């Protein structure tokens, strides 16, 4: 069976605006300019587009997993309006210091650990060496590096601040997702 190439995307700060306090309500959903077009370009080039997002707000008791599903579905609807398609969404609701006991675990899915990428990679038969990870935090970059993806730090979301505090090597630094896709991935 042929291997697929994929682009793993963080959600908040890469595709959607990252509000000051944990994006989880539909009224907080704003796509970053050009992100829908960038995803459509990836779709047209037969990349699997897989979102991997830490959602520690669940563990901290700010919202529940149902809120994540509602937010993600609303995002998918907005992306469909520009003919952009997401193949899968993985999220980690855990945090080692969670208020809620059932989420207080040191899991393998919370970035910088690569569990979500590994899970998506298995499901979609992904060749990590020909794939990319785009994130706005060093924890995203570290997760991508752990599986052998090429990594891109965007300066949207937390990216500009993170860039100033460089923690690890990154293959490309982009203004935003559109820049990443147009000038590095494609």
User: Are 135 and 163 spatial neighbours (Cβ–Cβ below 8 Å)?
Assistant: no
Mean pLDDT of 44-50: 98
The sign of the CA dihedral 8, 11, 15, 18 is negative
Residue 109's closest CA among 167, 171, 58?
Answer: 58
Q: Is the peptide bond before 112 cis (omega within 30 degrees of 0)?
A: yes
Flag whether pLDDT at 92 surpasses 90.
Answer: yes
Flag whether pLDDT at 66 surpasses 80.
Answer: yes
User: Are 38 and 20 spatial neighbours (Cβ–Cβ below 8 Å)?
Assistant: no
The per-residue pLDDT for range 108-138, each reduced to its tens digit, is 999 999 999 999 999 999 999 999 999 999 9
Flag whether pLDDT at 21 surpasses 90.
Answer: no
Flag whether pLDDT at 1 surpasses 80.
Answer: no
Q: How far apart are CA 38 and CA 176, in angstroms?
A: 10
pLDDT category at 100 given cuts 50, 70, 90 is confident
Q: How far apart are CA 48 and CA 87, in angstroms?
A: 6
Phi, psi of 154 (to 5 degrees): -95, 150
pLDDT above 90 as % of the chain: 93
pTM of the model: 0.97
Predicted local distance difference test score (pLDDT) of residue 20? 78
pLDDT above 70 as % of the chain: 100
Mean pLDDT of 35-46: 98
Catalytic residues: 10, 12
Long-range CB pairs of 108-111 (<8 Å, 24+ gap) are 110/54, 110/56, 111/10, 111/52, 111/54, 111/135, 111/137, 111/139, 111/140, 111/142, 111/143
Mean pLDDT of 47-72: 97
The per-residue pLDDT for range 144-163, each reduced to its tens digit, is 999 999 999 999 999 999 99
User: What structural domains does the chain harbor?
Assistant: 6-185 (3.40.50.1000)
pLDDT category at 19 given cuts 50, 70, 90 is confident
């Amino acid at each position: 069976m042929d291997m697929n190439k994929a682009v793993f995307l963080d959600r908040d700060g890469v595709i959607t605006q990252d509000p000051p306090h944990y994006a989880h309500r539909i009224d907080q959903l704003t796509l970053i300019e050009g992100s829908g077009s960038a995803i459509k370009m990836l779709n047209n080039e037969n990349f699997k587009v897989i979102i991997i997002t830490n959602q520690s707000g669940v563990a901290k008791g700010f919202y529940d997993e149902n809120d994540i599903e509602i937010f993600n579905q609303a995002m998918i609807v907005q992306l469909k309006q520009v003919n952009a398609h997401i193949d899968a969404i993985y999220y980690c609701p855990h945090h080692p210091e969670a208020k809620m006991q059932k989420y207080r675990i040191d899991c393998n899915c919370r970035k910088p650990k690569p569990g979500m990428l590994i899970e998506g990679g298995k499901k979609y038969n992904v060749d990590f060496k020909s794939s990319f990870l785009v994130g706005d935090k060093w924890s995203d970059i570290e997760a991508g590096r752990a599986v052998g993806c090429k990594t891109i730090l965007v300066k949207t979301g937390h990216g500009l601040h993170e860039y100033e505090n460089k923690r690890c090597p990154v293959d490309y630094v982009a203004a935003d997702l559109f820049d990443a896709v147009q000038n590095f991935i494609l």
